[in-house]
Chain A
Amino acid sequence: MTDTLATAAAYEKADQLPDDVRAPLRELILALADSKRVLGLRYSDRMLGSPTLEAGIAASSMAQDEWGHARLTYALLGDFGDDPKALEHERDAAEYRSMNALDAELDGWHGMTAAGLLLDMALTAQYAALAESRYTPLRNRVQKLLDEEKFHFQYAASWARRIAQVPELRAGLAAALERALPQALQWLGRDEAPGARRMVDEGVVRDLPSDRRARFLARVAPVLEEIGLADPLGVSRDAGEWTYTGRLDWAGWDDATRRAGGSLDEVTAARARGDKNRALLMD
C-alpha cells in the first residue's frame, strides 16, 4: 500500500466504493464465501473413514471453521445490497461460485491433505490480501479468520510430511497434490481481470493475483520441497522466489465466477443450502 493510500479515508460502507471497485469486490467476496462453504462440506465428508479417530475429529473441527468463515463472509454481502440469507439458503447449484476443484468429493485422506495444504491456503492467500483493506467491514473480519487458518496449514503440512514417508501412500499423495496445485494457483485469478488493478489502486486489495500466487507458493512450496515433491509438481526456486513452471489453462475461465465452466452438483448444493435443516434455520 502506498503512503497516500495508507492515510486515505477508509470505506465504511460498500456504497462509498467506486462502481468499478464495488462490483469486482462483491464477486470476490461471493466466490470466497461459496468456496469456504463447499470446502467445509468436503472436509466434513472426511469425518468418517479418516486414518485415525483424532483425524476425523480434526476434519470435523476444520469443517466447522470453514463454515464459520463462510458465515462471516456471506454476511458482508448485505452491505452490497444482497440478502445474505437468500445467498446462503436459496440458490441453485449452478449459481454457486465455489472453486472448480471442490466440485468433486475429496479423494480420501490424500485429497483431504491436498485440499488443506493447497486449496485452503489459496483461499487464505486471498483473504490475507484483504487484511489491510480500506473497506472496513471486510478488514475487521479477516485477521481472526487468518489466525484460525494457521492451524489448518500446520495440520495439512503435518499430514503431508507423514504420508510422504510411507512408500505405499506417497504416490497417492503426489497425485492429489498434482491435481490440486494448478487449480489452487488458477483460482487466485488473472491480473487482467476487470477491476483487479483498480481494487489494488484503491487499497481494497493488497496486490495483484500474480503477487498473490507468489505469496501462496512462498508458503506452501517449502513443505512440498521438504517432502521431495516440489520438483515433480513443477515448483522450483529461482533466486529465492518460488515459481510454478507448469501451464495454467485459462480457456473458458470466467473472471467474475473464478471458474472454468461446470458447476456444483445439486446434491452438494442442497447440503450447502441446508435444505434438510430448513426448519432449524435461525437469523
Chain B
Amino acid sequence: MKLSCNIDIRHLTRVEGHGNIRIKISDGKVVEAKWEVVETPRFFEAMLVGKHWENAPYICGRICGICSIGHTLASIRAIENAFQIQPTVQTARLRLLLKHMETLQSHILHLYFLAAPDFLGTGSVLPLINSHPDVIQRALRLKMIANDACDIIGGRRIHPIRTVVGGFTMLPQKKELDGIRQRLAAAAPDLVASAELFKSFATPSFVRETEFVSLKGENDYPFIGGEMISSDGVRHKEADYRKMTNEYCVKGSTSKWSKLSRKSFAVGALARMNNNFGMLHSAARNVASELAFAPVCHNPFMCNVAQLVECVHVVYDSISLIDELLALPLQEDRQTVSPRKGCGVGAIEVPRGILYHYYEFNAKGTLVKADCVIPTSQNHANIHHDIEEMAMQYSQTNVDDRDIELLAQMLVRSYDPCISCSVH
C-alpha cells in the first residue's frame, strides 16, 4: 500500500494553455486529487454583443490558434443556420476538406510533438530532431501537407481568411488541389510508419468507465452538423445543444465544466470513434485493429491511438473529396447574406471534440447573445475524475511518485486539451 505522495504540477507543459495537477496521498488515503484550470479568461461571448454578424467568424476564429478553422466554421454554420442559408455542395466539400486538414495537422502536432516525447523518454520534441530524425521528418512531412492544404483552401493555416458566411472569398486552383491529392496519396507509407511507431509504445492500462458524446453520423463519419449522441443513449438535435452540454461553473477553474447522464463525459477522437466506428474508412479501421482498438474503449490513453486512426481516415476521405471537387468545374461560390432576427447553432467536430457556437441576432443582423461551448471544457470534469480514480488506484500500490507524476501528466496530455480555448 502506498503511504504518501505529493504531486503539485503548476502549469502542465506540452499542452495548450495553463492547467495544474495536484495529487496528495497520505497514509494510503487520497487527500486531494484534482485538475485545475487557471487560464486567464477572454470573454469572447461578451465581446460579440453589439457586433454585426460579419464579425463573429472573424473574431471567434481567434478563440484558438490550434483549431481556428473549426471555430470559424462553427461560427459560420451558426450564422447560416440563423439566416437560413444553405451552403452549396461545392462549399460543403471544400469546408470539410479544410476541416480534415486541420484535424490532420492538429493530431500530428499532438501525437508527435506533445505526446511522443513521453513515450520516447524526453522532455520535448527538440532532442528527437537528432536522436530520431526519421520520426521527426515524417511528422513534418505529414504536418506540412495539412498546413499547405489549409493555406490553399482557407488562405492561411491559422485564423483562416477565405472562409466566410455564404461560401469562400476565393477558391483554390484545381492544380493546387491536385497537388495536395498527390501528396496525400503519397503519405500512405508515413501513416503506416506512424502506426508502427505508436504500436511500439506501451499504452498505460488505466481504464475508467465513461460516457462518450459526439456527433452521430448517418452515413458518414461525422464532422459538420447533424445530431449529437451519447454512448449512454442520449440523443439531441443540434439546436438543443444545451441539453447535451449542461455547463456549470466550479471552484478552482476559470473554465466551465459539463455533465450529462453521469458526473462527467468525454468528447474527442476517442468519443467519435466509440460512437461511429463502423463509418470510418476501411483503411482507418484496419489501423485501429492493428493498434488493438475496439469500441467501446474506456482507456483515456487510447485517445492517442484514436487520433492516429482518424489521421488515416481524414487522409483517405480527403482524397475522395478532392476527386469529387476535381470532377466538376470549380464555381465562384459566395452567396449574398440577408440578415434576419433569429438564432442559430453550429455544431462541429474539431480535433478535441464537439464544438458548439450559438448566436442570437436582431432584425439588423446585430448579435444580441452568443454562447460557445468548447470541447476541452466538456472534457475537464472527465479529466478531473480520471485523475481522482488514478490516485485511488495508485494509493493501493507501491508505484514511485515520479511514475505517478508522469502518468498523470500523460493522462491529461492524452486528452490533447486546448485550455485557452476552454477559457475563451
Asked if A and B are interacting partners, one says no
What residues of chain A have their CB less than 8 Å away from a CB belonging to chain B? none
